[in-house]
Structure 1
Amino acid sequence: MKKLFCALVMLCLFSLEGFSQDVRLNVYGSYAFADKFDSYWDVGNNYYYDGRIEDGFQWGGGLEYVVNDMVGVEVLYLRQDTNSPTRYSYSGFVDRRTNFDLGINYILVAPSRYFQAPSGNLEGFFGVMAGVVIADLYNPDNGNENNATKMAWGVKGGGILWGSERIGLKVQAQLLSAVQSVGGGFYFGTGGAGAGVNSYSSIYQFSLGGGLVFKLN
């Protein structure tokens, strides 16, 4: 995962090197709100899962190239360590409950549109994000571990208050969604390899926070 992130950063570096006006390092810290998810993929046999992703701290960083005064492109990584209390049922296991340990990693490319305030030390922005989410799931009941990589997208908006020419304070709200075309990617079983979930369910994570912005050039 770290190698993939570094490769994406280097790709943006070489592709935008001749056009970049500013190179910025963004450091993030946000509060991510809880979200519910469910799927009933075999009603006849009463197979289902129903749970939530708990709220918690989300952190990360990104490297951004501001091509001109209005457009920037960022490659970023976000991480959240949380829990997922889930109720599920499948083949012989009825109404099981497990509080899974869940690690969520987003790797995203995020173009943004900037708006300059007349004062000069305030920037507003709005952006979209697209990439992948890598989820690491651990079942404390039996020690089983699994992970899945899915498509992800998001939107964000906020502002940057520049305290100096090189350091600014960013405040933003964002919405991230993991499109879980699960297809057996997660396992909610309590014995053996567990039961693969073959269904569709999307997760939406809304967060509020911000961070620091450093101009590197």
Structure 2
Amino acid sequence: MSKKLIFFILALCALLQGHAAYAQKIRVNLYGAYVFDDKFDSYYSSSSYYEGKIKGGFQWGGGIEYSLRPEYGVELLYLRQSTHAPTSYATSVVTSNETNFDLGLNYIMLAGSRRALSSNDKFEGFGGLMLGMVIADLKDPDSGRSASATKFAWGLRLGGIAWASEAVGIKLQAQLLSAVQSAGGGFYFGTGGGGAGVSTYSTIYQFSLGGGLVFKVGAKE
């Protein structure tokens, strides 16, 4: 998926170079951030439960943003995190156990941005809401079993861009991403061992700090 995204961005940039008036409204954003740990749990009874943590780590991605007006933009973006989810659980079959799941989170989001421009155009603040989906790929390293789930996701972000030139800027931002239980369910964490299974519908909240690079397509250096 990541190679296809990079190819799509490069192909679009090449196409837009021949349409300068339109291209100047396009931005290509590259992202890198640290995502903090997030806990989850589900309790059916004292003997049937599970609890765990989605470990923090590096998140990367990219997006294509179109400027509707100087103060407003809309962006299609992809974000990826490869991490682990150590989980403790108990069922009527398994008294207690622990598995460190391999977890891949792929966010595909449509984001709106409200921009605040400085008087000299060297700094730009922004904030906005994101809506889309997360594709979660989960694997049990003990049994080799794997599963995938696609869920509705939303997010918020706030940050700023320092423009090094007319065409290139450095972005810093804080971001919250969440997969919502009440809007389509949650993630499944299966034990995969001894015929036992534990499922949950926990909402996930992922807070991150990071930034990246911004390129205005068609702008002069």
1:186, distance to aligned residue in structure 2 (A): 3.7
Aligned residues: 206
Cα distance in 1, alignment partners of residues 4 and 66 from structure 2: 19
State whether structure 2 residue 100 is matched by structure 1 residue 71. Answer: no
Q: Residue type matched to 2:64 in 1?
A: L
Aligned-residue identity in percent: 53
State whether structure 2 residue 28 is matched by structure 1 residue 25. Answer: yes
1:95, distance to aligned residue in structure 2 (A): 1.6
Q: Residue type matched to 1:23 in 2?
A: I
Cα distance in 2, alignment partners of residues 205 and 151 from structure 1: 14
Match of 2:45 in 1: 43
Cα distance in 1, alignment partners of residues 3 and 112 from structure 2: 22
Q: Residue type matched to 1:140 in 2?
A: P
The 5 Å alignment of 1:1-217 reads 22-40=25-43, 42-43=44-45, 46-180=47-181, 181-182=185-186, 185-192=188-195, 194-195=196-197, 197=199, 199-217=200-218
Cα distance in 2, alignment partners of residues 55 and 112 from structure 1: 26
Contact 1:21 1:65 in 2 (8 A): no
5+ residue gaps in structure 1? 10-16
The structure carrying a bigger strand percent of its residues is: 1
1:49, distance to aligned residue in structure 2 (A): 1.3
1:4, distance to aligned residue in structure 2 (A): 10
Distance 1:175 1:182, change over 3 A: closer
1:120, distance to aligned residue in structure 2 (A): 1.2
1:191, distance to aligned residue in structure 2 (A): 3.7
1:139, distance to aligned residue in structure 2 (A): 0.6
Cα distance in 2, alignment partners of residues 179 and 204 from structure 1: 9
1:205, distance to aligned residue in structure 2 (A): 0.6
TM-score, scaled to structure 1: 0.86
Distance 1:4 1:200, change over 3 A: farther
TM-score, scaled to structure 2: 0.84
5+ residue gaps in structure 2? 10-18
